[in-house]
Amino acid sequence: MKDVIYTLLLSVMVLAGTAAMSDAHAQTNTEKIDTVVENTAETNSVLATVSEALDELAAGVEDITAALLLLSEDVSTADSRITNLESKLDELTSVGGDGVTLQTFTEQISSINAQIAELRAQLGIFQGSVTSGPMQGMSGDDGIPNPPVKAYARTDVVFDIQLATEDAGDRLDLVRDNAMHGIVVPRITDWLREDVSPGQNDAPIIFRYITLLHNAAFDAVAPYHSTAVGVYSRIEHRPASESETNLLPNTAVMYASYRSMLEFAPHRADEWRNMMTDYGLDPDDESGLNLSCSQTHELSSPVTIGNHAAKCVLEARHDDGFNHFGTETIQPFGDTTGYQPVNIPDSLVDPSRWSPLMAFNRHGEFGVQQFATPQWANTETYSGLDPRSLRIPPPMSSNHRNADAYQAQADEVLNLRANLTGNDKILIEFFDNKLRELVHRPALKNIDDVVEYIQLEFLLNMAKFDSGTIIWQEKARYDAVRPTTAIQYLYDDEPVPISIDANGDVEMVPANQWQSYLQTADHPEYPSATTCFCAAYAESWRLYTGSDDLPAYVSGDNVIHGYEAILPAGSSLIEPGMTPSEDIHVIFDSWSDYEQRCAASRVISGTHFWPAVEVSVDTCNTAANTVFAYWEMLIHGNAPLRGPATSMDPDPMLNGPSWTGY
């Protein structure tokens, strides 16, 4: 029905002579976009004249459709009448400007409405001869719950149709499709996987890029929402008619993303330019890049809006403490805190503290691990969250002076690691993949409205980014030992179990050769970062939907689960071609289920102890609530304009004695 109304609206614009749009799907270049913007005001009077008739038409057709689903007799008669109406609608939407007047158009609308009223009477909709009962999957006693009501939804979620993406070979339509989901995200995912993190597990850098990208997009679509404001820019709201389709918001998003990606990866400039020219957009249009970010602007062009939004985000976050762009003496993302480990690979001074291992880094270079981005602890948060106000207790079982507890948690990890199944391993890799949310998504994220989609995405990524400041703060503070080091310290060259084969035989290795299933991460163990990101993500969804549930929905003969993923046979990055032995269908029935299985995956993989994952769930749930409160202020237009972000002072608690007594 939404598609029919769009077609009629565009036809009205042609008939009135106010916008020469022969094909709405062709409006994907800058010149035609500007035409739409310029003619919007002129078209408003025409649209107002026919809007009431169109509303009646829409309601009538919807009633007919609903009735036909339930009617058990006279269907053939009704079907014939519907066919006749559809034919007349086709005639309406195919007319050109050859003498057809607004009066003729409205007369035809009235005629169709009269026939709809007659058909309503025949079907007995108003006489009560047709009573509507609960439809499967929507309400009633069929065991399938209603989709949750989303407090911030502007459109319906498309549960049974996957959104179009270039990765799937689709050619997207900027009028109807979601450019962020279908064009931008596949391209940036490929770049992150190929150039930034081939292992797809370098959380600080991956989330940094993704959060900035969605921040720029969020600020770019804010003018197309009735109340929302940007984080780092202020642009007057556009008329509601400009967001009736995705064309103008999509265009703003494309320019905001293009400017961001040029800054992130200038060596791929040709690829980013092709992204624009493939959709008729001019990558050399720099309008908006010279505007001040401290002032409110009234901008009509989506090109200018997108460029300005990206510029303001990139400038504001340039010196926020993350060292994204490097300094004269420190490379981009390099440590600005001066962190020095107590231990080194060949010398274990304190068995309670983190010991860098010899391992491959994200560039494929083998060497001594370096604490990845410890300066995240000093990075300004989006939400105003003060990480210094959120503290977690020390990991007492990781203090080797508590000998029994220290050995007990190490032995537990040894046992869990040895008993891993193929299904366990691929689920461990699923949660370790920091790009997974760009590939796998809950059904509720199947949103075709690009404004709503980006608002949700920014919430989810902002929650993970701000939570990361707390986790990195406490990682640096406790500098806690990883299981690999603890096991090697306890057992040296004694044999320990590492796996159980298909015959049930236990494979043993010397403890000093024991490894976790995942490569041990390049930062201290406590608290768990991956668990935190899962918890922040899950809590944000709970706040957004008002529910912990991830219910299933019925679409025809299919059951669509709230969050499911197919992990193909042999898709493991660690045991390629072998694990899993068959396709694994993963289903999460609640967000609690999601975050608990995520937490457990870190322990059974051998990368964490239980206390590290337990504190992360609580801490990052709390952080997500602070982020959500700020996000609501942005959506409702109450958030103040943010100035350039700055680095926080170092954590004062780093100056005291170590929690281990050394």
Contact 600, 430 (CB under 8 A): no
Domains of the chain: residue spans and CATH: 2-123 (no CATH), 166-316 (no CATH), 393-639 (1.10.606.20)
Decide if 234 contacts 297 (C-beta within 8 A): yes
Q: Indicate the length of the chain as a whole number.
A: 662
Give the integer Cα–Cα distance in Å for 273 and 268.
Answer: 9
How many Å apart are CA 111 and CA 115, to the nearest integer? 6
CB 446 within 8 A of CB 159: yes
C-beta of residue 219 within 8 angstroms of C-beta of residue 458: no
Q: Please tell me the distance from the alpha carbon of residue 244 to that of residue 13, in angstroms, as a whole number.
A: 14
Q: Which of 334, 354, 329, 336 is nearest to 344 (CA)?
A: 354
Share of the chain above pLDDT 70, in %: 74
Answer yes or no: is pLDDT of 623 > 80.
yes
- Tell me if residue 344 falls in helix, strand or coil: strand
Question: Quick one: average pLDDT of 77-106?
Answer: 53
Q: What is the pLDDT of residue 219?
A: 98
pLDDT at position 182 over 90 = yes
Model pLDDT, residue 112: 61
The predicted structure's pLDDT at residue 51: 56
DSSP 170: -
Q: Which of 251-260, 559-568, 583-592 is least confident?
A: 559-568
Q: Residue 398 CB: number of other CB atoms within 10 A?
A: 29
Looking up tokens 């604490």 gives 371
Tens-digit pLDDT profile for residues 238-249? 999 999 999 999
For 97-101, 250-254, 358-362, 570-574, which range has the lowest pLDDT when averaged over its residues? 97-101
pLDDT band for position 287 (50/70/90)? very high
DSSP annotation of 578? T
Q: Give 143's contacts (C-beta < 8 A, 6+ positions apart).
A: none
Q: How many CB atoms lie within 10 A of CB 414?
A: 21
What is the sign of the dihedral through the CA atoms of 45, 50, 56 and 57? negative
What's the rounded Cα separation, in Å, for the pair 428 and 602?
7
- Strand-pair partners of 359: 367
Say if residue 527 is preceded by a cis peptide, omega within 30 of 0.
yes
- DSSP class of residue 148 equals P
Q: DSSP class of residue 506?
A: E
**Among the listed ranges 87-96, 451-460, 604-613, which one has the minimum average pLDDT value?**
87-96
| Paired tokens of 165 | 């993406």
Mean pLDDT of 135-144: 33
Of the two residues 391 and 99, the one the predictor is more confident about is: 391
Residue 98's pLDDT band, with cuts at 50, 70 and 90, is very low
* Residue 462 DSSP label: H
- CA distance linking residue 174 with residue 27, whole number of Å: 8
Lowest mean pLDDT across 299-313, 327-341, 450-464 = 327-341
* DSSP string of 289-340, one letter each residue: TTS-TTSEE----HHHHHHHHHHHHHHHTTTSSS-SS--SSS-TT---S---
pLDDT greater at residue 167 or residue 639: 639
Quote the distance between the C-alpha of residue 453 and its chain's center.
8
Spatial separation of the C-alpha atoms in residues 451 and 548, rounded to whole Å: 24
CA distances from 554 to 2, 99, 164, 446 (A): 22, 48, 21, 15
CB 572 within 8 A of CB 429: yes
Q: Which residues contact 140 (CB under 8 A, 6 or more apart)?
A: 133, 134
* Whether the predicted pLDDT of 343 surpasses 50: yes
- Which of residues 249 and 172 earns the better pLDDT score? 249
H or E stretch covering 559: strand 558-560
Residue whose tokens read 């003496």 = 329
The answer to whether the predicted template modeling score (pTM) of the entire model surpasses 0.85 is: no
**Do the beta carbons of residue 46 and residue 101 sit within 8 Å?**
no
Predicted confidence band of residue 157 (pLDDT cuts 50, 70, 90)? low
pLDDT digits (tens, 9 = 90+) for 463-472: 999 999 999 9
What average pLDDT does the structure give for the chain?
81
Q: How confident is the model over 427-439, as a mean pLDDT?
A: 85
Find tokens 């274990």 and name the residue. Answer: 348
